[in-house]
Amino acid sequence: MKMQLAEIANALNSEIDKGDDTIITSVDFDSRKVGKNALFVPLAGQRDGHDFVNSAIANGAAATLWQKGHPNKPENIPVIEVDDPLTALQDLAQYYLNKVNPTVVGITGSNGKTTTKDMVAAVLAKRFNVHKTQANFNNEIGVPITILEMKPSTEILVLEMGMDRAGQLHHLSSLVKPDVCVITMIGEAHIEFFGSRDKIADAKMEITDFLKEDGEFIYNGDEPLLKQRAAKISQEKATFGFKEDDTIYAIEWHSKMRQTEFKIQNSSQEFIIPMIGKHNVSNAMAAISVGRRFGESDEEIAQALAHFTPTANRMEWETGALGEAIMSDIYNSNPTAVSAVVTAFGQVKVKNNGKRIAVLGDMLELGKESPTLHAGLASDLNPDIINEVYLYGSEMENLYNALVDKYDPKHLHYYPTDKMDNMIEALNNDIKPNDIVVLKGSHGMHLEKVLQHLL
């Protein structure tokens, strides 16, 4: 972005005390990351963002928003006073979105939304100037920042849109007014806050609340909860999945160690993605659906999918200190995701005498169903396929108890939350060069520390 401060103030129906012609080229709420010519947005979090304005100025901020009536307003920098800095950030993003006027693709889902976002962006970049969500900037703060980071030449904006409470996607949909909405699937993520998958599906459907009249809703057609709710959508619809009544469905797929090959009905094109697992074939079919919507050929789509770069820690392969292969999938976790990852991992071939070793951390935000959902993962773990299991965290004790009759005690290991160092030591003693390892757990379990030690 590039706007004069006067234009920003006008967009926010506010005034500035000085510096009308100051040029703003970025917007940030983290004073540590603020750069030259940035507008600082002091948000209320664990700490009051207003307390960090001097740090932002020192790092190059050219102006700041400021909540009306908040004390200690800085005098050495232009200030735009607003009723609420977060609302102002969102209003400014909406103004800039309307100014650039790209086509908007909004993507959500309990699992796979980040990978699908990366795939969709890669596919559309074959023909268009595309800007996409970076990292996990997918909430009421991250979406506006993503919008404000796009270049004026952006033709298609691909937005990952997350939620952990009802009404959140409704608000984000009202902000961006998508031209295309994608829902990857409905799982158990955040079920602690919703109570049931039905209510999660209701919340996910909010992404369509402001879908443009000539837009399209693309969703996982194998999910009954989505099919029921999609019937109420008047806009054009398309589905993807593994059933013959889907608009696009896979007719065959095969995973190797670092890639999956698949075909879809009524197409001679073979698709290859640099990820493993049936669930990633589903994500890729969502991207194919979007690509076709924008006139991409299957050949163009296949070329893009073969070379797209996934966001870090999404089924990302690393090489350990002994030469063992390590699959890192440690950004988030829920029962559907663990099942998909473990199933895909179990299909990876192992070198001579190698073992498949799973390291699973707690799945967070599952509420009162957490013990049952953790124990339920036992059906996905077969000692003939996943030869060694390491479980970490208080909730994983439920899975341990469900596996004690299934696994030899020498191959089943449980560590409470305060025993990560012990688990790391045991893993280092256990792992051999021909082994393959998968790390899967919620971000709050910090399995990245285990990964770093293994590397």
Q: Is residue 110 marked as binding?
A: yes
DSSP tag of 155: S
Q: Of 63, 34, 58, 31, which Cα lies nearest the Cα of 45? A: 31
* Token output for 178: 């998508």
Where in 141-229 does DSSP place strands (E)? Answer: 156-160, 180-183, 216-220
Q: What are the Cα distances from residue 410, in Å, to 326, 382, 392, 419, 421?
A: 21, 15, 16, 18, 19
Map residue 380 onto helix, strand or coil. helix
Question: What pairs with residue 216 in β-bridges?
Answer: 180, 236
Q: Is residue 215 marked as binding?
A: no
User: Are residues 123 and 296 in contact, defined by beta-carbon separation less than 8 angstroms?
Assistant: yes
Q: Is residue 25 marked as binding?
A: no
Written as one string, the DSSP assignment of 12-24 is TT--BSS-TT-EE
CA dihedral for 200, 202, 207, 208, sign (positive or negative)? positive
Q: Of 221, 158, 212, which Cα lies nearest the Cα of 186? A: 221
Q: Of 377, 331, 375, which Cα lies nearest the Cα of 358? A: 377
* Token output for 317: 């392969």
Q: Is residue 114 marked as binding?
A: yes
Q: Is residue 115 marked as binding?
A: yes
Q: Is residue 109 marked as binding?
A: yes
Region for 95 from its dihedrals, namely left if φ exceeds 0, alpha if ψ lies in -120 to 50, beta otherwise: alpha
CA dihedral for 170, 192, 112, 234, sign (positive or negative)? negative
Written as one string, the DSSP assignment of 107-146 is EE-SSSHHHHHHHHHHHHTTTS-EEE--TT--STTHHHHH
Q: Are strands 216-220 and 156-160 parallel, antiparallel or unpaired?
A: unpaired
DSSP tag of 25: -
Residue numbering of the annotated binding site for ATP: 109-115
Residue numbering of the annotated binding site: 109-115
